[in-house]
Amino acid sequence: MHRFQRLATRRQFLVSSTATLASVALGAPSAHALGTHVSHLRLPRTAAARRTTPGQWLPPTSSAEQFRALALVAMEAARGAGADFADIRMGVQRDFAAFGVGITVGYGVRACVNGTWSFQAGTTLTSDAVALAARTAVSDACTASVVNAKLHQPRGLDWAHTPVVSGEWRSPVDVDPFAVTLNDYIHVSRAAAEVGRRLGEGVETNCIIGWQIETRVFASTDGSLVTQEWTRGGALLSATAVLPNPDEQVEIVVPDVVRHSVGFEAALDPAIPERLTVAAEQAIRWRELRQSPFTDVGRYSVVLDGAAMAGVLGYTVSNALDGDRVADFEADASGRSFLTPVAEIVAATTPQFSPLLTMTSGRTAPSLTAVQWDDDGVVPDSYTLIERGRVIDYHTTRETAPHVAACYAAHTQPLRSHGRCLAPTPGSVPMSFGGDVRVNPGSERVSVDDLMRDMGRGFCVMGASVRASPGLTGGFIRSPLVVEVQQGKPVRRLRNVWFAFTIKSVASKALVALGDARTLGTATVTTQKGMPWQTMEYPMTAPAAFCKEVDVVRMDISA
C-alpha cells in the first residue's frame, strides 16, 4: 500500500479531487472557450494567426489578488475545522511549445491533525469550493489520526521551524514570451535551420522553443502569504549529420543551452548560430567514422561527456541525497537511499566517493528552479552536498530536515530546511527534489579529446539515457552515440550500446579524471515519486569524466 493511503505513516495524504479537469478546444483568439485544463492545443499557421501572440490564444484567469483572497478563505476554513497546521498552493500555469498552447488552473490543500496528514486538490475557483476542500482535508486527517492513535503512532508536527513570510516575487524577464508574435517564433526556428543549410547537404540544425509562465500563491495557517510569477523556457538546440542510410545519422545536442528562468530574449541570443555551427561540425566529424557491430562484451575504460555524466550522477548520487528517500517516505514508491543511516554517513572516516567529486545545489536565477520561496514557504539556500568525495548534506524540506538532524549536529549547524519542497503543479502533493544540482569541473584545462587521449581501448559516450537500479547504487546507460577509442584515437561509431555501471565505477575509485568547464553538460533528472506517481524534474550539470571500469553488457545495433 502506498504512502498516501497507509494510515500508519506520518507522511499521510488522503488524495481526492474536488473536480475533474476539463479539456476543450479553442477556436480563435478571445474565444475563451478554454476550461481549467488544456494539455496542448495546436495553433493554426495561417498568415492571420502568425500575427497573433501565444497569450491571445489563452483565456483570462483569476488574478493574483483573487488567488490570494481564495487562499486566505481556505486557511480560515482549515483553522475553523481544527487543523493543527494547513497550507495551500494555488495558481495557473500557461504553456507554449511545439506551436501549441496549454493552461492548467488548480490548487492543493495539506492539513495536519495530531501528526497525521491529508491532502485535497481541486480546480473550482470559488470561495465555497476552496473552503470545502480545506475542511475535507482536515476531516480526513482527523479520521486518520484516530487510527494512528490506536496503532500507537507518534503525534505532533515534527517539522523544521521557518519564519512567517509574505511578499511578491517575479523571475527577471526582459521579453515576455507570450507577448511576441508567432512570426517571431517562426523566424527563430528558420534562422536555426538556415545554419544547417549553409553547411551543406545532409546537415540539419534545429531549435525547439518552449516556455511556461506560472502564477502561484502560497498561504498557511501560520500566517504566511506569498505570490510568485516565474517564466521558464528557452531554445533547445541540436545538429544532425545524416548519411544515406537513415539509421546512421549522428545527432549532437548543444550542451550549454538549456532551459532557464528567462524570457524570449534567450531565443534572440546572437551566439546561437555559432553554437549550432560547432555542434554541426562535431556531428560531421563523428559521421565520418564507420559504424560497425561490436561483440566484445567486457569491462572497459569509458569517457562520459558532460550530459552523460550528469545523468548518471543525477539518477544515482543526487537522488540518493533526496530527503524523502532518506526518511523512507519513498520506501514503497521510488525507493530508499543507500546514503543512510545519516549519522554513520557523516561520521565516516573514509569518503563515500572520489575526492574529485564536489557537488552543490542552488535555486537562484537564472536557474530553471529559481524561486524566492519554495512550496513550504521557505527561502531556498545554496549548499554543498559532497565535498571532495565526502557527503556533508542532503536535499531537505521542512518535513525531511528532522530526519537528517545528525548531519546538522555533526557540523554544529541549526536544523533547517534547504527550501527544496516542490509541487510540480499547484494541485500536486509537495515533495522534496534536488533544485539545480552541479558537479564542479576539474581545475586543469582538460577537454573530452584530452580524456580520450589517455585511453588504450575503450569508449566515449555522448549523451545518454540512464536507468538507475532500485537501490540507486548503479544502473544502465544507453547512448545514441558511442565512439570506440583505440590508443587515444576514435576509430568507429557504435549505436544503441548498453553499459552497466556501479557507483564505484563512475563516482568512486574508478573515477580517474574530470574535464574542465568547457565540457559541462546538463541532463534533466526525471523521477516518479509517491503513489499515485508524480513526476518530479530538476536539472543536473556535470563535466565530462574518465572512468576506468565500466561494463559493456549488451549490444543492440538493430534497435
Instruction: Please name the helix (run of DSSP H) or strand (run of DSSP E) that holds residue 343, with its range, or none.
Output: helix 342-347
- The Cα 406–Cα 401 span in angstroms is 10
Least confident of 4-18, 99-113, 172-186: 4-18
* pLDDT band at residue 80 under the 50/70/90 scheme: very high
Least confident of 65-69, 255-259, 485-489: 255-259
Judged against a pLDDT cut of 90, whether residue 20 lies above it is answered with no
Please identify which residue in the block is written with the cell numbers 487562499.
71
* pLDDT band at residue 155 under the 50/70/90 scheme: low
pLDDT in tens, 236-271: 888 888 766 666 678 888 766 668 899 999 999 998
Is 65 in a helix, a strand, or coil?
helix
Judged against a pLDDT cut of 70, whether residue 29 lies above it is answered with no
pLDDT recorded at residue 511? 95
pLDDT recorded at residue 2? 33
pLDDT in tens, 90-135: 999 999 987 899 999 999 999 999 889 999 999 999 999 999 999 9
Is 388 in a helix, a strand, or coil?
coil
pLDDT cut 70: percent of the chain above it: 89
pLDDT recorded at residue 559? 42
Least confident of 53-57, 162-166, 288-292, 535-539: 288-292
DSSP string, 345-360: HHH-SS-SS-TT--EE
* pLDDT band at residue 504 under the 50/70/90 scheme: confident
* pLDDT band at residue 208 under the 50/70/90 scheme: confident
Q: For residue 44, give every residue at least 6 positions away whose Cβ sits within 8 Å of its Cβ, in sequence order, or none.
A: none
- The Cα 312–Cα 303 span in angstroms is 12
- The Cα 108–Cα 218 span in angstroms is 10
pLDDT recorded at residue 185? 94
* pLDDT band at residue 39 under the 50/70/90 scheme: low
- The Cα 412–Cα 436 span in angstroms is 25
pLDDT in tens, 288-328: 898 887 777 889 999 999 999 999 999 999 999 999 999 99
Single pTM value for the model: 0.90
The grid cell for 449 is: 579529446
- The Cα 249–Cα 253 span in angstroms is 13
Asked if residues 7 and 114 have their Cβ atoms less than 8 Å apart, the reply is no
How is the chain split among helix, strand and coil, in percent rounded to 5? 25, 35, 40
pLDDT recorded at residue 184? 95
- In 224-331 the beta strands, taken as DSSP E runs, fall at 225-241, 250-253, 298-304
- The Cα 78–Cα 134 span in angstroms is 5
* pLDDT band at residue 287 under the 50/70/90 scheme: confident
Judged against a pLDDT cut of 70, whether residue 31 lies above it is answered with no
Instruction: Please name the helix (run of DSSP H) or strand (run of DSSP E) that holds residue 216, with its range, or none.
Output: strand 203-220
Which of 113, 108, 97, 94 lies closest to 38 in space, CA to CA?
Answer: 94
Average the pLDDT over 436-446 and give the result.
97
Judged against a pLDDT cut of 70, whether residue 28 lies above it is answered with no
Q: For residue 115, give every residue at least 6 positions away whose Cβ sits within 8 Å of its Cβ, in sequence order, or none.
A: 10, 145, 148, 153, 154, 155, 156, 157, 158
Average the pLDDT over 476-504 and give the result.
89
| Helical spans, DSSP H, in 379-432 | 405-410
pLDDT recorded at residue 59? 85
Average the pLDDT over 74-84 and give the result.
97
Least confident of 1-5, 332-336, 394-398, 445-449: 1-5
pLDDT recorded at residue 149? 82
Average the pLDDT over 37-63 and give the result.
86
Fill in the DSSP letter of residue 20.
P
pLDDT cut 90: percent of the chain above it: 66
- The number of C-alpha atoms within 13 Å of 223 and in the hemisphere containing its C-beta is 4
Average the pLDDT over 2-8 and give the result.
32
pLDDT recorded at residue 61? 85
Alpha-carbon Rg of the chain, whole angstroms?
25
